[in-house]
Amino acid sequence: MRLSLLALFLIGNLAHASEPLTIDVHRDANCGCCTAWISHLQDNGFTVNDHVEQDMSAVKRRLGVPARLASCHTGVIDGKFVEGHVPAADILKLRERADLVGAAVPGMPVGSPGMEYGDRVDAYQVIGLDRDRQDQVLSDYPAPQR
């Protein structure tokens, strides 16, 4: 009996681990980089619920995105905000951090996911926001040496 229960537990956990992650993305209808970021997420195994919004400022306020971290689109996963061109790998980092309420790539740095422009890549950071509203660097993406 114990062996059967253990087998069911393991199979259940494996099935759960293979389920795609779902993220809600709120964006303006006229934004091309937002749809490119959505493609990046889908290419990395995320299921995306795409919400076209009339007032992105109201969405950001409702989700608690500070103006200093703002970008063009806002995602929500596990109740946490994902602001701007955050790479899929950093969204996974955010999910592992109970101390963070969100993550952001402020502005629209060239070379971040959805902002590809030839071989140009600007340096940028992924900033995590903790429960005390303090910034923490989750990842640092330097510009390549030329």
Residues comprising the chain, all counted: 146
Dump pLDDT digits (tens) for 48-58. 999 999 999 99
- Residue 36 phi, psi dihedral angles, 5° rounding: -65, -40
Report CA torsion sign: 60, 108, 89, 129: negative
Q: Which residues partner with 2 through β-bridges?
A: none
What pLDDT, in 10s, does the model give residues 103-115? 999 999 999 999 9
**What pLDDT is recorded for position 1?**
47
Distance CA 39, CA 85 (A): 12
pTM: 0.85
